[in-house]
Structure 1
Amino acid sequence: MTVTDDHRTSAAVGRPPRRVLIAVIAATVTAAVLAAITPWPRGFQGAPTGDPELMAELEDALGSRHWQHVAAAHIDGDEVTFTGTGADEHTEFEIGSITKTFTAALFAEAIDRGEVEAETRLGEVWPDLDGKVAEVTLESIAMQRSGLPPQKPWSGWGEGISGILANYIHTDPYRGDAGDIVASLSDVEVGEPEPEYSNYGFAVLGQALAAVAGQDYSELVRDRLTEPLGMKETFVPDSADGLSHGFTASGLPAAPWTLGGSAPAGAIRSTTHDLSLWLRAVRDGTAPGAEAAKPRADFEDDRIGWAWFTTAHGGSTITWHNGGTGGFRSFLGFDRQTGKGVIVLNDSANSVDAAAALIVAATGADSGTTTETETASETGTASGNESSAEGERS
């Protein structure tokens, strides 16, 4: 009996109790599952396309993050070189606030058509408005100094909660339509007319231009910009059905954004092929409304035209805009003097602004220069940023 007891004691010492063993197994399985579903830092995914040398330069400029797929173009005069991984020049991406350059072009085009003037006030577009908001001019909005808040004010707690929730479940936080944008002006508080990046302002600008033209914003983009330039792969979506999704900065899936009534601030989807047409036409002054890119005033450390920023550094002057939605980031910039430019579209919420180095390096300036500036978080709440159809001036 004593021997038996000693044997049992020895066996107990030699292996853990059953409940401990089960806990260890459960923990091991849980760790394995978490490891399998947690995105890890990695390079761009998919088969390479286009020019490998340009892709190598781009990867070197952007560094290692939770990348997914990318398409890029380098412009040198009329010569365009495309590259990508998991995407090519015809792959569609959300371009975020690069959309603002289209809205600004529509503003310039509307002036040329005699539909509005630079100093046209919101109260002239919508006569029911009164007070300070009625005195806000279209040009002040286009130059990001209107006093309008960065984001559309909440219409109620329901909209606020849904906007906050959208950030956590990675969906489009914009619920309102064009009518909601207009209605919100009646209650908005207008601040001082000083430089402040406003996604809400550009939503208002786009809807004002649509109102005076008697067309939807998407129709204006198509009829006045993309069709004349042969940009067949560029459009303003009216529904998320069938649209590709992107990924968060940590690699989680993020739903596509259509932005509803805020579409003029960041809803356009396009390709590097089409944006190469856009960049060259704006650079050369042949695009409808190309004068929007002309610098007109200071904006922090930069100059601003209508939407477009211009940054001087190291002997190079870059005219640019970037963009960001819940699952995409973009950059477009050019040096008007040399004719060189870069476009980068990527389906993750990691900034690609560092691609500006490819323009600067090509012009013989400091290759470490970028135009990256963050004026607001690109992934905040829909009320406090644009959750952002943009934040890095996106």
Structure 2
Amino acid sequence: MNVATAPTQHHRHSPAPPRRRLTAILTAAIVAVLLLLITPLPRGFQGEPTGDPTLLGELEGALGSAHWQHIAAAKVDGDQVTVAGAGADEHTKFEIGSITKTFTAALYADAVERGELSEDTRLGEIWPSLHGDVAEVTLSSIAMQRSGLPAQEPALSFGDGVASIMANYLHTDPYQGDANDLVSSLKGVDVGEQKPEYSNFGFAVLGQAVAEAAGMDYGELVRQRITEPLGMTDTSVPSSPEGLSHGYTASGLPAGPWTLGGSAPAGAIRSTAHDLSLWLRATMNGTAPGAEAVEPREEFDESDRIGWAWMTTTNRTPDLTWHNGGTGGYASYLGFDPKSEQGIIVLSDSANWVDGAADLISTDDASQSYAQPSEQSSEQAGARP
């Protein structure tokens, strides 16, 4: 039949039979119920309250509703430390994620003070097998997050890349290579512009470089030079997933523990609110090994300056020196103001950011300006984003 001469008729679609419509509605309802069953709803902190109820209430107000599980916090005010938690206390272990970087930066500062390294030490001096641009990258540029190294460790093979991607979907540790693999991955790296850019890979390299210069592995270095001298008995770099229950994703699903392998210096440390209060106070008063790492050295973005790892805000009252962290199933925040000697630590076993805890010791200047329109015309106040 010639398509061009085919008859064209307009047909009115008849409504689906009632039985078919009912089946479709029931199917959609069942699917919706199943999705609700496997995806938890946002909720408050879980478990029995511990410690100071006032601090816990302030924390709930600052963090709001999310897929929370268990949480532990410590608030520092000079020599006084107040703790609180839900389903956890100040001695419960959590993954602290990138707060680990503050330990790595302190180890680097301490190694410079010991004469083992300098601010100008290059990667090629640590590992002479490196050549080209990557060999010229300095350790201080890595510590200030402006080295030009990529954000994440390059995969050594196609299989490694696939495994890392699958780990993200399966909520397991995506970092499987050891320290030797990390160094090997440097050989194929393209170094970019040396501008402020956060790099987990860079800090993993920095930590392994400091360990290489000291002649010991990273975990032992943390123990000998930081945790043992400060009495942080519940803080360590794990060598296996054992010893810690799973955390939870931001949507409330179980997530396996991370050890990070050779990338441990970027985020593997496990600690407690109690131990991190020791770390915060010693860093704040300058008695911690490598405490000079906190001093701001360069601009990082519009609102932050960076020292070695540590950020210092410029748009809060008072400004805060801080770092946060997150793994597949945990989140953390540590911040302090050395002038007022106040600090806050929050550890959570869900991957929802807890940075809002900063409001317990400092005020965001933008929020404060918006909340006080008397200092400007009402028209200007209403135009603020």
In 1, distance between residues paired with 2:56 and 2:154? 41
1:376 paired residue number: none
Pairing 1:330–2:351 present: no
1:86-117 alpha-carbon deviations (Å, 9 max, x no partner): 11101110000000000000001111111111
2:371 paired residue number: none
Pairing 1:200–2:201 present: yes
2:101 paired residue number: 100
Pairing 1:61–2:59 present: no
Give 1:34 shift: 3.8
1:189-229 alpha-carbon deviations (Å, 9 max, x no partner): 01111111110000000000111111000000000000000
Give 1:35 shift: 3.1
**AA in 1 matched with 2:329:** G
Answer whether contact 2:207 2:265 (CA < 8 A) is retained. yes
Give 1:315 shift: 3.5
1:177 paired residue number: 178
In 2, distance between residues paired with 1:147 and 1:78? 40
Answer whether contact 1:310 1:319 (CA < 8 A) is retained. yes
Answer whether contact 2:295 2:308 (CA < 8 A) is retained. yes
1:130 paired residue number: 131
User: 1:328-367 counterparts in 2 under 5 A?
Assistant: 328-360=330-362
Residue 320 of structure 1: SS of its match in structure 2? strand
2:307 paired residue number: 305
2:322 paired residue number: 320
2:247 paired residue number: 246
In 2, distance between residues paired with 1:344 and 1:197? 22
5+ unaligned residues in a row in structure 1: which ranges? 1-15, 370-394
Runs of 4+ in 1 over 2 A off after TM superposition: 19-38, 312-315, 365-369
User: 1:1-394 counterparts in 2 under 5 A?
Assistant: 31-301=32-302, 302-360=304-362, 368=367
Identity of aligned residues (%): 67
Give 1:243 shift: 2.0
**AA in 2 matched with 1:82:** V
Answer whether contact 1:72 1:345 (CA < 8 A) is retained. yes
Answer whether contact 2:122 2:137 (CA < 8 A) is retained. yes
In 2, distance between residues paired with 1:42 and 1:49? 18
Answer whether contact 1:69 1:346 (CA < 8 A) is retained. yes
In 1, distance between residues paired with 2:62 and 2:365? 13
Give 1:25 shift: 7.3
Answer whether contact 2:74 2:277 (CA < 8 A) is retained. yes
In 1, distance between residues paired with 2:327 and 2:293? 23
In 2, distance between residues paired with 1:190 and 1:37? 43
**AA in 1 matched with 2:107:** L
**AA in 2 matched with 1:317:** D
Change (3 A) 1:89 1:367: farther
Give 1:78 shift: 0.9
In 2, distance between residues paired with 1:77 and 1:119? 36
Change (3 A) 1:366 1:58: farther
Give 1:259 shift: 0.5
In 2, distance between residues paired with 1:303 and 1:217? 27
Give 1:30 shift: 5.5
In 1, distance between residues paired with 2:30 and 2:147? 56
Answer whether contact 2:315 2:366 (CA < 8 A) is retained. no
Residue 83 of structure 1: SS of its match in structure 2? strand
5+ unaligned residues in a row in structure 2: which ranges? 1-17, 369-385
Give 1:36 shift: 2.9
- The count of residues paired between Structure 1 and Structure 2 equals 350
In 2, distance between residues paired with 1:300 and 1:277? 29
1:208-265 alpha-carbon deviations (Å, 9 max, x no partner): 0111111000000000000000000100001112322111111000111100100000
Residue 317 of structure 1: SS of its match in structure 2? coil
Change (3 A) 1:310 1:333: same
The Cα RMSD (Å) is 1.9
In 2, distance between residues paired with 1:196 and 1:212? 25
**AA in 1 matched with 2:339:** Q
**TM-score of the pair, normalised by structure 2:** 0.87
**AA in 1 matched with 2:248:** F
In 2, distance between residues paired with 1:346 and 1:225? 23
